[in-house]
Amino acid sequence: MSRTKSKTPIRWERLLLVLLNGGPISKEDIAVSMNYKLINRISAEIWQLKERGAQIKQHRKGKTVWGYELLNPQDVRHLVEDRGFSVLPVVKNLNDLNAQTAQVAEKETVTQ
């Protein structure tokens, strides 16, 4: 049973949207792309995805996990497409967004 369409995805859906890009994605890239500050709790979101049928591989350097990879994107893509979301691009830093700097209006001083 799928949820109704919503404007904002919940955390495990945001993680899935990032992992659907394919290939291994580092924890830092996940944190920036998801705008998720509690990256140490990412295992809870991974567990939610595994409960829904996702197969996720952990990439390690020694004992430290540096990234995650979704092994069956074709099987879990329907979880986000049914809700009307598309894949989030991986953002390495905020300069990748090509954002324009906001023009600040000058304050008018009123003299009495």
Residues 7-30 have pLDDT tens digits of: 777 888 888 888 888 889 888 888
Q: Is residue 20 part of a domain?
A: yes
User: What pLDDT sits at residue 100?
Assistant: 63
Q: Is residue 96 part of a domain?
A: no
Region for residue 76 given its phi and psi (left: phi exceeds 0; alpha: psi -120 to 50; beta: otherwise): alpha
Q: Is residue 92 part of a domain?
A: no
Q: Using DSSP, how many helices (H) and how many strands (E) does the chain show? A: 5, 3
pLDDT tens track for 49-83: 999 999 999 999 999 989 999 999 889 888 888 88
**Parent domain of 60:** 11-85
Q: How many domains, the chain?
A: 1
Q: What is the CATH number of the domain that holds 41?
A: 1.10.10.10
Q: Is residue 3 part of a domain?
A: no
Q: Is residue 79 part of a domain?
A: yes
